[in-house]
Amino acid sequence: MRQKIVAGNWKMNNDLNQSIQLISDINKADFSDKIKVIVFPSFISIHSVAEKIDTNKNISCGAQNVHPKPNGAFTGEVSTSMLKSVGVEYVLVGHSERREIFNETEAFLKEKIDAVLDAELTPIFCCGEPLEIRNINQQNQFVLIQLQKSLFHLLASEIEKCIIAYEPIWAIGTGLTASSAQAQEMHLFIRNSIADKYGVETANKISILYGGSCKADNAAELFSQPDVDGGLIGGASLKANEFAAIINSFNLI
Ligand code: PGA
């Protein structure tokens, strides 16, 4: 059984006090510890949030970004060892906002994947197509190139330590969600692409999350698809009740 995961990407929301409030509300919420829950606060709040996580719950702390170099003259950047020192276990790599707003290239994302794995942290590699690519039905080729350029240099023993998040850009923060059929089709395509390169056994070990306007009222339908192993949640992860309801939607399947 692949690990089921619900991850909350808080993006550039919540100051320190608000972040502490949100994690204490999540701690109090009722959900199964069979689901791995990961929260991604801003860098500023990671240390305090990681310290406040209820250790009886299956919750971990992640970082929204990292720089691939171990240290040095990179003003404003944060390294893997810094993240580890404050309790980070997971790192988002290649979120579409990093790719589009901050011009992160596939080669740079590849360096980040290597740095994160070297540090024995778990990368969540984000991929997904913009609307104009979906409109011409080229989404599979587009996502395959993202995988090939930043992930497929890894050994099987390395890629099986990664989590993948499929996030169609046209669904992020827009209220438009991929239908469960569209999500399943892409998740299966991603899994088959991994199987073509690394074999079925490796492909079947990798959790693939869906992201893009996933909410309490559509999560169960998305998570019920055979190749959808959970969600990467943005806006709906900022309210503990809604986030807990998304986690609990696994109980409805
Ligand atoms: P959204 O964001 O749930 O607000 O659409 C998802 C994401 O960007 O990870």
Read off the tokens for 180: 């469960």
Q: How far is the CA of 72 from the centre of ligand 1 (A)?
A: 32
pLDDT of residue 1: 80
pTM score, two decimals? 0.97
Q: How far is the CA of 233 from the centre of ligand 1 (A)?
A: 5
Q: How far is the CA of 73 from the centre of ligand 1 (A)?
A: 32
- Asked if 143 contacts 189 with a C-beta cutoff of 8 angstroms, the reply is yes
- Asked if 210 contacts 183 with a C-beta cutoff of 8 angstroms, the reply is yes
pLDDT of residue 176: 86
237 C-beta closer than 6 A to ligand 1: no
- Is the torsion defined by CA of 185, 188, 194, 195 positive or negative? negative
The protein residue whose alpha carbon is closest to atom 7 in ligand 1 is 234
Q: Is 51 a catalytic residue?
A: no
pLDDT of residue 132: 95
165 C-beta closer than 6 A to ligand 1: no
Secondary structure letter of residue 42 according to DSSP: -
167 C-beta closer than 6 A to ligand 1: yes
DSSP for the chain? -PPPEEEEE-TT---HHHHHHHHHHHHHS---TTSEEEEE--HHHHHHHHHHS-TTS-EEEEES---SSSSSS-TT---HHHHHHTTEEEEEE--HHHHHHS---HHHHHHHHHHHHHTTPEEEEEE---HHHHHTT-HHHHHHHHHHHHTTTS-HHHHTT-EEEE--GGGTTTS----HHHHHHHHHHHHHHHHHHH-HHHHHH--EEEESS--HHHHHHHHTSTT--EEEESGGGSSHHHHHHHHHGGGG-
Q: Is 95 a catalytic residue?
A: yes
Q: Which atom, in ligand 1's list, is nearest to the CA of 213?
A: 5
Q: Which atom, in ligand 1's list, is nearest to the CA of 237?
A: 3
Tens-digit pLDDT string for the chain (253 aa): 899 999 999 999 999 999 999 999 999 999 999 999 999 999 999 999 999 999 899 999 999 999 999 999 999 999 999 999 999 999 999 999 999 999 999 999 999 999 999 999 999 999 999 999 999 999 999 999 999 999 999 999 999 999 999 999 999 989 888 999 999 999 999 999 999 999 999 999 999 999 999 999 999 999 999 999 999 999 999 999 999 999 999 999 9
Q: How far is the CA of 61 from the centre of ligand 1 (A)?
A: 17
